[in-house]
Amino acid sequence: MSNSEEALKYFATYAGLVTVKMMMLGPLTGFYRTRDSAYANEEDFVLTGLKDRRPVFNHPMIERIRRCSLNDLENIVPFFIIGGLFAVFSGSPLSTILWHYRIFVASRFLHSIAYLIPLPQPSRALCYFVGIGTNLSMAIRLLMNTWFL
């Protein structure tokens, strides 16, 4: 198996991990909406028998989960693109590729924990910047290998 094939195998694993983490925020939102009858759409109240209720757009925990989800989209989607290309075209040793993936995935899991518990700052900010820095490191290495060879 070539270096890039093996790197892609690991990329699939780490991309899968952050995808599952990101997907778990949906059921978590559903849990809080159901538990607190904090539905965002009028038709959802029909299922509960609470027909005279108005949509709720300012539930603190649901809003926190929503912001966490948006932050995931801003960071994980670029990871999918950069990380996949990094596996194939960076020319980096497998150990370097793996450490980039591990650090990024750990930063996203820790960021979500810091966001949802919530932990005091700067814990969430540090996790965010580690993830952004990891994506930037992969992008710079990728560009250096593909443009400047």
Report d(CA 114, CA 89) in Å as an integer.
33
The domain in which residue 84 lies consists of 3-147
Structural domain count, the chain: 1
Helical residues (DSSP H) of 1-149, grouped into ranges? 3-23, 25-35, 60-89, 94-116, 123-147
For residue 20, the domain's CATH number is 1.20.120.550
Find all residues with CB under 8 Å of 97, minimum gap 6, and list them.
7, 10, 11, 86, 87, 90
Model confidence over 89-105: pLDDT tens digits? 999 999 999 999 999 99
> Among 37-51, 99-113, 119-133, which stretch is predicted with the lowest mean pLDDT?
37-51
Model confidence over 9-21: pLDDT tens digits? 999 999 999 999 9
